[in-house]
Amino acid sequence: MNKVTAQELSKLEADRTVIVDIRGEDAFSYGHIPGAVNIPAETLDKANLSRDKQFVVYCRTGQLSGDAVEQLCAKGYDAYDLEGGYVAWLRAHVNDLSQDTASQVENGIRTKYSKKLFTKFAKAITTYRLLEPNDKVAVCISGGKDSMLMAKLFQELKRHNKFPFELVFLVMDPGYSPANREIIERNAKVLNVPITVFETDIFDNVFNIEKSPCYICARMRRGHLYSKAQELGCNKIALGHHYDDVIETTLMGMLYGGQMQTMMPRVDSTNFKGMRLIRPMYLIREEDIKAWRDYYNLQFIQCACKFTDTCTSDVCQGSSNTGSKRQKVKELIRALAKEDPEIEQNIFKSAENVNLSTVLAYKDKKGAKHYFWDED
């Protein structure tokens, strides 16, 4: 089979080479090789491709793109498989980043992206009272764009030094491949984020679970993060969920859960006494995170579990259908927002404008259900 390496890719004739990403649309949106076109694997047969071009095809790790290349070659196309896929390219790209990247990013947070990123970060912390003097926060870094940006925003907040608090930049390795582990560590080094890494075997434990492995994996990851953070003397863990996560969760609860609830900016742990989860990215839009990432030519890992190594879609095969539901809700919100730009803001505000006199029933903090006729 025709193959090219990540290093060889940059040497190909740019005007004749078409780089084809066969992953799903959401994975492509999260991060891709610059200049690549997105043709999901299931639609490749129907794509209108030029016979005058040469095609370099890639998936996430190279386990699926080989079949696509064989199909193209069988039809007479000049096609090549990117060895190691997007992860191999990402690994090479991260190693090529400038040592000045951290200072450029830090300066951008104070200038170009101050209003859309840092101001909203600080506002969430103040509005929802996420930080208090003498807190010790475990800033949980998954290796993705959201958590890496959160780390840089926390560093900027610390630089302001308005009141004393401590930070630990915590990375849990649930069973990453060596390549993904290297990408996370290299990005942290380039961005000047002093990470503390600890290892677990979560991926191995959930790999053979057929029912809701993603849900179980998320619960286990959360528990390990709480435990390690507490061991390190932290009283809070910070996660990188953003504004779009909040409105998607709110709508998902209504459409698929039959309940009105939202993703809270802070949650006290029921299993780890004295620990609190905070979400300081609560008011930041994902499009602004992506703009920040792209401006500095940064690339981060997406989901790095074993399911996605052999999955072409945005939803891992063998997982629960939570991912597909979220993707459907994401697309629904996007479509509605095109017609009315205030839709997203209205979904967000709905969780803080609940009128108890106009709901049929609600649950109090203890879980007891109250109906509207209880006050008759």
pLDDT of 162: 87
Mean pLDDT, to the nearest integer, of 211-218?
74
More reliable by pLDDT, 209 or 292: 292
Q: Is the whole-model pTM more than 0.85?
A: no
CB atoms within 10 A of CB 349: 11
pLDDT of 345: 96
Closest CA to 131 of 223, 240, 235: 235
- What is the separation, in whole angstroms, between the first and last Cα of the chain? 76
The answer to whether 125 touches 131, Cβ cutoff 8 Å, is: yes
Mean pLDDT, to the nearest integer, of 144-165?
95
And the tokens for 86? 């997007």
pLDDT of 131: 97
What contacts 343, CB < 8 A, 6 or more positions away? 333, 336, 337
Mean pLDDT, to the nearest integer, of 240-252?
96
Mean pLDDT, to the nearest integer, of 25-49?
89
pLDDT of 321 > 60? The answer is: no
pLDDT of 78: 92
Over residues 111-150, the pLDDT tens digits come to: 999 999 999 999 999 999 999 999 999 999 999 999 999 9
pLDDT band at residue 308 under the 50/70/90 scheme: low
DSSP helix/strand/coil, 362: strand
Torsion sign, CA atoms 198, 199, 205, 207? positive
Q: Name the DSSP letter for residue 166.
A: E
Angle between helices 343-350 and 243-257 (to 10 degrees): 70
pLDDT of 307: 53
CB atoms within 10 A of CB 240: 23
